[in-house]
Amino acid sequence: MNSQSSKTWSNWAGNQTSNPLSIKKPQNEEDVVEIVKEAKKRGLKVKVVGSGHSFTGIAVTDEVLVSIDAIADIRDVDFGNLTVRVGAGIKLCDLNPILQRSGLAMPNLGDIVYQSISGAISTSTHGTGLEFKTIADAVCGMRIVDGQGQVVECDKQKNPEIFHAARVGLGALGIITEVTIQCVEAFNLHAVEEILPIGEVTNNFDRWSKTTDHIEFFWMPNTDKALLKRNTRTLEAPPRPRNKRHSLKRRWNRFKNEEIKQNVLFGAMNHLGKIIPPLVPKLNSMVAGESGRAEYITTSYEVFASPRRVRFYEMEYAVPINYGIEAFRRVVELIGDLDHYISFPVEYRVLGKDEIPMSTATGRDSAFIAVHVFRNTPFEKYFQGVEEIMADYEGRPHWGKLNFQDHETLSNNYPQWEAFQNIRRLMDPFGIFTNPYLDKVLGPLT
């Protein structure tokens, strides 16, 4: 097991930092058990960090910080049952190509895949599509080291109450060391991406969402345009390039769109807008464009996710599906009333319900509204205004994205809140895995 003395840690966005007494880098489950037992003996708190893509303080600690990056192996592929068993530290961006080569795929993915599998499920990370669910819903087995250093195996048959809660555990139940995922046969996505008037999108979105596998849109503030993405699952193969030159051209066009436009150019525009704020509306109009359509077929994970190199802060809320567009329109009005410009798009997605206690989609089909700002720019007034809107619809915040909630305001929005708290007390009776963020959103252990 690797270990190092106190060193400053920060997350991807740079808005969360800590100075742990030590940073532990276990190589296997036995190392994790040893870390927890030693911390318990010394009366220290332990927090696990994945790839640091959460914007909240969910992984922050000044005591013992554990990185499970080294526990990232593929342990078993069951082709008969379409399951894969992996070390909990494996990154989704590394797992997806391996699954593809095995003829498998994750059922659904979000638009960022730098997270570890354990971090993604613990924060209720999700994709889009009313007939599909969160990444955590695909988990069918886990191994967790609890607050006493005991290894707990759980699935639907073994310790089912723990399994039920632990798929979205917020890091409050223990250290996940292994995850078994229910996959599906590998599939492609037929992607259609269009720039359309925002009114056309909002007026038709609910209807489109019922007939499209995966659908979302991005509205650029201070414009009347939105990028609509509609992805249909297919076994149809991508069209073969006519020749090597055509293949190179297609790869260049994709690189130009994803890297140059979405990252390099968008990053430069945000830096310029930060220096000269009145330019933001014009820059946003340039990003949105006048019109345009792209259509292509490729592997599912390549369509679901795109590279995000421009760093930002984000808040995301889930509201009941029937109120989604109404809540979005109120966010549009809020942005128009702010005393400063917003240079990042507002993202809108939909997702089917699940029954995981702390999932943001538990018990209800949900619309997700995400707002962003460029890193190191003010966000409080904007995000607080959005949160006030979402409160009118019993909004639930993404656990890894910024919010101003506490356990008193959150508990009424989760029907299985007490069931989760009971498992939390069972798994972590001494509060080994608590930190200020968890004490705030879940309440102190009692």
* C-beta neighbour count of 93 within 10 angstroms: 15
Averaged over 391-399, what is the pLDDT? 98
124 near 358, Cβ under 8 Å?
A: yes
At residue 368, the pLDDT reads 98
From the number of C-beta atoms within 10 Å of its C-beta (0-12, 13-18, 19+), residue 363 rates as middle
Comparing C-alpha atoms, which of 293, 137, 134, 299 is closest to residue 233? 299
Q: What is the pLDDT of residues 262-309, one digit of tens each?
A: 555 666 666 566 667 766 666 667 666 656 788 999 999 999 987 666
- Looking at the DSSP bridge assignments, the partners of residue 91 are 116
Q: How far is CA 286 from each of CA 119, 224, 281, 283, 374, rounded to the nearest angstrom?
A: 35, 12, 9, 5, 17
Q: Name the packing angle between helices 324-337 and 380-391 (round to 10°).
A: 150
Q: Distance (Å, rounded) from C-alpha 426 to C-alpha 165?
A: 11
359 near 136, Cβ under 8 Å?
A: yes
pLDDT over threshold 70, residue 98: yes
271 near 280, Cβ under 8 Å?
A: no
Per 3-state DSSP, the chain is made up of helix, strand and coil in percentages (nearest 5) of: 35, 25, 40
Least confident of 98-102, 253-257, 315-319: 253-257
End-to-end CA distance of the chain: 33
Give DSSP secondary structure letters for 346-368. EEEEEE--B--TT-TTBTS-EEE
Q: Distance (Å, rounded) from C-alpha 170 to C-alpha 421?
A: 12
Least confident of 15-24, 289-298, 405-414: 289-298
CA angle 209, 134, 262 (to 5 degrees): 70
- Looking at the DSSP bridge assignments, the partners of residue 191 are 231, 296
Q: What is the pLDDT of residues 132-184, one digit of tens each?
A: 999 999 999 999 999 999 999 999 999 999 999 999 999 999 999 999 999 99
Q: How far is CA 195 from each of CA 223, 227, 326, 410, rounded to the nearest angstrom?
A: 12, 5, 21, 36
Q: How many helices (H) and strands (E) does the chain have?
A: 14, 21
pLDDT over threshold 60, residue 258: no
- Confidence label for 246 from pLDDT (cuts 50, 70 and 90): very low
Name 80's Cβ contacts closer than 8 Å, sequence gap at least 6: none
Give DSSP secondary structure letters for 241-297. PSSHHHHHHHHHHHHIIIIIIIIIIHHHHHHHHHHSGGGHHHHHHHHH-S-EEEEEE
Q: Kindly give the residue spans of alpha helices, DSSP state H, lying in 102-154.
A: 117-122
Q: Which pair of structure tokens corresponds to residue 28? A: 């296997």
The pTM (predicted TM-score) of the whole model is: 0.91
100 near 299, Cβ under 8 Å?
A: yes
Comparing C-alpha atoms, which of 70, 132, 81, 84 is closest to residue 107? 132
Domains with residue ranges and CATH for the chain = 74-185 (3.30.465.10), 188-397 (3.40.462.10)
71 near 88, Cβ under 8 Å?
A: yes
At residue 288, the pLDDT reads 63
Q: What is the pLDDT of residues 108-122, one digit of tens each?
A: 999 887 899 999 999
Q: What is the pLDDT of residues 410-434, one digit of tens each?
A: 999 999 999 999 999 999 999 999 9
> Which residue type is seen at 215?
I
Q: Which pair of structure tokens corresponds to residue 109? A: 């993915």
Q: Distance (Å, rounded) from C-alpha 115 to C-alpha 223?
A: 32
CA neighbours closer than 13 Å in the CB half-sphere of residue 161:
11
pLDDT over threshold 60, residue 26: yes
